[in-house]
Chains A and B, each alone.
Chain A
Amino acid sequence: MSAPAESPHPAASARIPPKLGGAAASGAAAPAGPGPAPHQQNGPAQNQMHVPSGYGLHPQNYIAPSGHYPQGPGKMTSLPLDSQCGDYYSGLYIVPTQNVVTPNTANQQPGAQQMYGRGPPAPHIVGSTPGPFQGAASSASHLHTSASQPYSPFVNHYSSPAMYSANSSVASQGFPSTCGHYAMSTVSNAAYPSVSYPSLPAGDPYGQQMFTSQNAPTVRPVRDNSFSGHSTAISHSSPLPPPPSHQYHQQQSLSGCSTLSWSASGLPSTQDNLLRNHGGSLATANSNPTNTVADSLSCPVMQNVQPLKSSPVVSSVLSGASSTRTPPAANRPVEPVASVTQPSELLQQKGVDSSSTTSSASPVPNSYDALEGGSYPDMLSSSASSPAPDPAPEPDPAPASAPTAPQPSKMAKPFGYGYPTLQPGYQNATAPLNSGVPPSSPVYSGFQQYAQYPGMNQLSSSLGGLSLQSSPQPESLRPVNLTQERNILPMTPVWAPVPNLNLDLKKLNCSPDSFRCTLTNIPQTQALLNKAKLPLGLLLHPFRDLTQLPVITSNTIVRCRSCRTYINPFVSFIDQRRWKCNLCYRVNDVPEEFMYNPLTRSYGEPHKRPEVQNSTVEFIASSDYMLRPPQPAVYLFVLDVSHNAVEAGYLTILCQSLLENLDKLPGDSRTRIGFMTFDSTIHFYNLQEGLSQPQMLIVSDIDDVFLPTPDSLLVNLYESKELIKDLLNALPNMFTNTRETHSALGPALQAAFKLMSPTGGRVSVFQTQLPSLGAGLLQSREDPNQRSSTKVVQHLGPATDFYKKLALDCSGQQTAVDLFLLSSQYSDLASLACMSKYSAGCIYYYPSFHYTHNPSQAEKLQKDLKRYLTRKIGFEAVMRIRCTKGLSMHTFHGNFFVRSTDLLSLANINPDAGFAVQLSIEENLTDTSLVCFQTALLYTSSKGERRIRVHTLCLPVVSSLADVYAGVDVQAAICLLANMAVDRSISSSLSDARDALVNAVVDSLSAYGSTVSNLQHSALIAPSSLKLFPLYVLALLKQKAFRTGTSTRLDDRVYAMCQIKCQPLVHLMKMIHPNLYRIDRLTDEGAIHVNDRVVPQPPLQKLSAEKLTREGAFLMDCGSVFYIWIGKSCDNNFIEDVLGYPNFASVPQKMTHLPELDTLSSERARSFITWLRDNRPLSPVLHVVKDESPAKTEFFQHLIEDRTEAAFSYYEFLLHIQQQICK
């Protein structure tokens, strides 16, 4: 296997006790800041030199890197002066994706990864724009073409004085760094909404530093392009609340920002500043004005709510404010004042505020531990345990905050659902932040509580004005009475909660699309976790298509010497020469090479290196990371050509797709390809260059398979291209008259394994029936009468271990087997799937596939194949997941082979593979305030490069149950539970798994009810963060994988289970809980602009027939399929304008395309659907379902809130849960 570097770590012997670090860190957080100050100020100071000198300086900066560039990575030649950075620069050239707007467009996949990275071999001329970067160059021309700039990618995004000037008017000179930065984002948003600025070249973090000042670490460009759409949405002032997960984004894009309101991320940000502002004075200055304004604004509302002292009110506002993790639902009854807020702008304002204070007041210590390790624990302990005055020395920024600060500890206790152990920042930030806020939801919640529990009033007054509401309570903890809340589903998609970290870390943290944890607040002890009754685990999507990814070539990849963790943004630099690992706390030396930052061309700023500025980076690995030379891309297609297969006609589609995409197959000049077909015998194809036509070799001895010729079965794609094309053209017709009905899949796989084992690579198996000959033959195990049985569902496990063993052998030889099952009958997917499960392959299933009778499946196969053939691929991969000492991983989910306790062996890795990991807490995490998780994926790219992609996620540790509930990521939790339930149903039984799912809800809600809320036990109360939990679990229970009572074919069920195991979270959520939109009245209100198209954003509807009206048309997005349901009396205008038929009756039963009509509503509908499609790799097939057509059951089975003959409706389910809890 290929991971020497990933291999055994010596025991962590030289650990520095964390306390030591904490102590050092607390020094850093002290206002006087004497401790770490010297060196930290050092860096920024240098930077400041750049800034005042004005924008005029920039060209120089740009030129500097471009000068080095031509050296190309890895070529450590020439120019002695530059040698240190020459090898480094390849990191900057993530260029070709620049024009890509939607990250997942299939076409662009291959290019995306392979084109960047290496500079072209030749260009040593300074200033030439090398070929691969033309994309960048062209996008640069969107703005100003600046001929003077030698290297256009840089030009493109540092673009232009225009931005700066535009922006400098907004922000004062006092904090140039921020304004420079904000300017950039604004402009880019405005200038080309479609090419939103995340798609900037990877270089930007570095570039940024050139003109940013002290707070360079905080100011960073958005790393994730996939949200470009949303970001633009925001700047266009849509009524949609912004996805909270992208707050860092929004904060950076400064817009009008005169609106006053609260913002979640604003809170922590200011808080950070406060903590950080040793000077303090400036912060006060900055925040006070807002504060006063704010107060005056908010008071009227607030006083209604509570005629108590003003300070409590303040903090209650805060509670809402701090909660913005979940976008405020728009449908709340009480919508105070101007509260259809556009948090985006508000956020931005906060962002500006905060960063400006930061920048002007003091240097930002880069080592977060200096902040976190020191101040956090102090604060935590003080607020959690002792009423003693907080000795923490951070300055009180605003006078108003003085009274509030001590309160939480006192008053949170008496009533369960306070938020007693709030992060210090919340408390501090209270005053400055509740500024100007007519907060919608929080106020409402105040109302609600007030109304519901009048007793509270007395209680609170008896407490001397410390009312319940005054305890800061985040939105995510707002109790929701599930049985009374009718519209539990928010109008906009649910976003991942943002971990409650300080702003610096929040910005640095890994994108939730790649890395999510079910609990964004990690409980301190296993006991606490047990009390919460929530699953703890990670959801990974490590090889996701990224449009912006820093690639780093460097001689030494800096890693912890004891645990081999890669250096990441969350390590702390003790001084310039040493850094402390954030996973094992070992102190390591900073290597000499790391001291030099080639972009700033400065020495001694290790904390500004890209590795430390990005939580997702990719390293080009040296030969230390190889056990053998990187393998070429090798593809083998194993095709079923029995009668059944020829009948179904998939060969035509496959060969056509292959012919079209032959040049787009990822690979380099060494790429090899081969074909095998099988029925009762196995056919090989000799494609050796020089032959006049492909030669077919038949092996009929299936009991002892051998390869007819040693070589020339896998041939070089480019040398034998003509022969390959000939073969592909001939294949569909070669077997048309076959009468062979048997299928010797097992022997064919054995042959494929033999063929592949010298190199490894990818085997794509197309199978259309039960294998009936030779090794691995299977019998039909499905009893059709049992399909809708409510009791036992058998045969979910494999019937034979042949396929598993074969997969393990393949995995050992770095070969992955991908299965395409196109079958009209039962084919025992449960057994066949093993070949992909353990070899890290993927599984596609097309029930009742027929190329003419079932055109929608044929279309789906075609689209899937296109994606499949052209998407990125990594070979001979291993993935290691590390986590902070004290946590341990115990179960993995996905398609892979577990090589060791934390190492997954992946013969292939593809961008659509997701993984899940269950965690447990082995040692108490009392001595740390943060935990980190790191996945390192070591793979060989299709270009034969060894690369390591590293993601690092950082999460806070909490000690109170309320905080644990506040941080639940309900979607991640559901996906993890689904994975666990699949395991359970295979190892035990389906009904066990179903019970376990229901128990998960019952346990967690009853645990919440008994420990945290303490309110009414008669009502079903859930924290706001968990309010969707019962709904999602119900959806899971009605999912094909777990449903009972409804007729479900065994293969369908098993396929759903396979998908649950290997789909990444985003796709899985759509599969579990589809999105329903009403599309007959699309408007441009709140539309976003993507790629010069206007994309309407209709609100989400709940999945219930009550939302369907006969007059409407609805679109359901199930991830892999779209349904458009047309009501019986749907508006004829819609049918005519969008569907192209005069009336409802004339719409055909099977319709899979929307015609391109030149009407506004058609354009809107199509752009909306295209937008939905572009967001995912598997392009879903569209079905137009007429009301009354037989296909409507397909549609209606997804309406999970409704009652079916075999399952609860949502309300009944809630009652059932309530009953269980009361038991």
Chain B
Amino acid sequence: MAFTFAAFCYMLSLVLCAALIFFAIWHIIAFDELRTDFKSPIDQCNPVHALVLPEYSIHSLFCIMFLCAQEWLTLGLNVPLLFYHFWRYFHCPADSSELAYDPPAVMNADTLSYCQKEAWCKLAFYLLSFFYYLYCMIYTLVSS
């Protein structure tokens, strides 16, 4: 039993993953509030925007850490989402500062349901990866 870098990575990502789960839940609630009329998109999108960049950077940090720790499998699992985030970040037409959620467009039912689906999928992904990191952390701690 040794405290390797990999184990450290998993421990850190475990903590951060909890934060990501929180972000995802936050998104879900935010879009749900939009859907049910409780808030104006302008009020809602600004805080959501505030969370987008941290989320993306945390996730990128994971990938870098796993790359350094040479955890190829974990990295492989995360790479698709990383690319998706990159695409999302750079593919926003014209207004980069608005990021993914554009107040005038977000209420479009298609966009809204897309955003909601995206948030749910991310929640699922983060939850699964949370347990996966937990398992991996213990595994690395025990095996080495």
Asked, given contacts A804-B95, A808-B103, whether A900 binds B37 with beta carbons under 8 Å apart, the answer is yes
Contact of B108 among A8, A890, A905 (CB under 8 A): A890
Check if A891 sits within 8 Å of B42, measured CB to CB.
no
| Among A1, A801, A903: residue with most chain B CB under 10 A | A801
Q: Which of B91-119 contact A (CB under 8 A)?
A: 93-95, 97-98, 103-104, 107-110, 112
Chain A residue with Cβ nearest B39: A900
* Chain B residues with CB under 8 A of A1213: none
Q: Which of A753-797 contact B (CB under 8 A)?
A: 797
Chain B residue with Cβ nearest A904: B107
Check if A797 sits within 8 Å of B37, measured CB to CB.
no
Check if B34 sits within 8 Å of A900, measured CB to CB.
yes
Asked, given contacts A1-B40, A7-B37, A900-B34, whether A801 binds B108 with beta carbons under 8 Å apart, the answer is no
Chain B residue with Cβ nearest A807: B104
* Chain B residues with CB under 8 A of A804: 95, 104
A231 to B42, CA, bound (A): 48
Q: CB of A339 within 8 A of chain B?
A: no
* Chain A residues with CB under 8 A of B108: 890-892, 898
Q: CB of B143 within 8 A of chain A?
A: no
| Among A800, A808, A888: residue with most chain B CB under 10 A | A808
Check if B37 sits within 8 Å of A798, measured CB to CB.
no
Check if B107 sits within 8 Å of A898, measured CB to CB.
yes
* Chain B residues with CB under 8 A of A1189: none
* Chain A residues with CB under 8 A of B104: 804, 808, 838, 897-898
* Chain B residues with CB under 8 A of A892: 108
Q: Which of A696-718 contact B (CB under 8 A)?
A: none
Closest chain A CB from B30 CB (angstroms): 13
Check if B97 sits within 8 Å of A801, measured CB to CB.
yes
Check if B94 sits within 8 Å of A901, measured CB to CB.
no
Q: CB of B84 within 8 A of chain A?
A: no
A905 to B37, CA, bound (A): 13
Residues of A within 8 A of B (CB): 1, 7-8, 797-801, 804, 808, 812, 838, 888-892, 897-901, 903, 905, 920, 987
A903 to B97, CA, bound (A): 26
Residues of B within 8 A of A (CB): 34-38, 40-42, 93-95, 97-98, 103-104, 107-110, 112
* Chain B residues with CB under 8 A of A898: 41, 104, 107-108
Check if B98 sits within 8 Å of A890, measured CB to CB.
no
Check if B36 sits within 8 Å of A8, measured CB to CB.
yes
| Among B38, B93, B94, B108: residue with most chain A CB under 10 A | B94
Contact of A801 among B42, B94, B110 (CB under 8 A): B94
Check if A797 sits within 8 Å of B109, measured CB to CB.
no
Closest chain A CB from B87 CB (angstroms): 16
* Chain A residues with CB under 8 A of B107: 898-901
Check if A797 sits within 8 Å of B94, measured CB to CB.
yes
A900 to B43, CA, bound (A): 12
* Chain B residues with CB under 8 A of A900: 34, 37, 40-41, 107
Check if A798 sits within 8 Å of B110, measured CB to CB.
no
* Chain B residues with CB under 8 A of A800: 94-95
Check if B42 sits within 8 Å of A901, measured CB to CB.
no
Contact of A890 among B34, B38, B94, B109 (CB under 8 A): B109
A-B contact pairs, 7 of them (CB 8 A): A1-B40, A797-B93, A801-B94, A898-B41, A899-B40, A900-B40, A901-B37
Check if B97 sits within 8 Å of A901, measured CB to CB.
no
* Chain A residues with CB under 8 A of B37: 7-8, 900-901, 903
Chain B residue with Cβ nearest A987: B93
Chain A residue with Cβ nearest B45: A808
Check if A808 sits within 8 Å of B110, measured CB to CB.
no
- Number of A-B residue pairs, CB cutoff 8 Å, is 59
Check if A889 sits within 8 Å of B98, measured CB to CB.
no
Closest chain A CB from B134 CB (angstroms): 38
Closest chain A CB from B97 CB (angstroms): 7
Check if A891 sits within 8 Å of B95, measured CB to CB.
no
Contact of A891 among B38, B98, B103, B109 (CB under 8 A): B109
Asked, given contacts A898-B107, A898-B108, A900-B34, whether A801 binds B41 with beta carbons under 8 Å apart, the answer is no
Contact of A808 among B38, B42, B94 (CB under 8 A): B42
* Chain B residues with CB under 8 A of A808: 42, 103-104
Closest chain A CB from B75 CB (angstroms): 34
Contact of B41 among A8, A899, A987 (CB under 8 A): A899
* Chain A residues with CB under 8 A of B103: 808, 897
Chain B residue with Cβ nearest A919: B109
Q: Lowest 7 A-B CB distances belong to which pairs? A: A801-B95, A890-B109, A898-B107, A900-B37, A797-B94, A8-B37, A838-B104
Q: A797-B93, A808-B104 are in contact. List 13 more A-B contacts (CB 8 A).
A: A8-B37, A800-B94, A800-B95, A890-B109, A891-B109, A898-B104, A900-B37, A900-B40, A901-B37, A901-B107, A901-B109, A901-B112, A920-B109
A898 to B42, CA, bound (A): 10
A429 to B35, CA, bound (A): 46
* Chain B residues with CB under 8 A of A8: 36-38
Chain B residue with Cβ nearest A799: B94
Check if A901 sits within 8 Å of B110, measured CB to CB.
no
Closest chain B CB from A205 CB (angstroms): 34
* Chain B residues with CB under 8 A of A1: 40
Closest chain A CB from B110 CB (angstroms): 6
Contact of B35 among A889, A901, A920, A987 (CB under 8 A): A901
* Chain A residues with CB under 8 A of B94: 797-801
Closest chain B CB from A2 CB (angstroms): 12
Closest chain B CB from A875 CB (angstroms): 18
* Chain B residues with CB under 8 A of A899: 40-41, 107
Check if A891 sits within 8 Å of B110, measured CB to CB.
yes
Closest chain B CB from A12 CB (angstroms): 13
Asked, given contacts A7-B37, A900-B34, whether A890 binds B110 with beta carbons under 8 Å apart, the answer is yes
Closest chain B CB from A924 CB (angstroms): 19
A801 to B110, CA, bound (A): 22
Contact of A888 among B40, B42, B109 (CB under 8 A): B109
* Chain A residues with CB under 8 A of B42: 808, 812, 897
Chain B residue with Cβ nearest A880: B37
* Chain A residues with CB under 8 A of B38: 8
Closest chain B CB from A10 CB (angstroms): 11
Chain A residue with Cβ nearest B37: A900
* Chain A residues with CB under 8 A of B109: 888-891, 901, 920
| Among A7, A797, A900, A901: residue with most chain B CB under 10 A | A900
A1 to B104, CA, bound (A): 16
* Chain A residues with CB under 8 A of B97: 801
* Chain A residues with CB under 8 A of B112: 901
Closest chain A CB from B32 CB (angstroms): 12
A899 to B36, CA, bound (A): 11
Chain B residue with Cβ nearest A838: B104
Closest chain B CB from A984 CB (angstroms): 13
Chain A residue with Cβ nearest B103: A808
Closest chain A CB from B47 CB (angstroms): 15
* Chain B residues with CB under 8 A of A7: 37
A808 to B104, CA, bound (A): 8
* Chain B residues with CB under 8 A of A889: 109
A980 to B37, CA, bound (A): 25
Closest chain A CB from B92 CB (angstroms): 10
A7 to B112, CA, bound (A): 19
Closest chain A CB from B83 CB (angstroms): 21
Closest chain A CB from B102 CB (angstroms): 8
* Chain B residues with CB under 8 A of A891: 108-110
Closest chain A CB from B143 CB (angstroms): 50
A865 to B55, CA, bound (A): 50
A891 to B38, CA, bound (A): 19
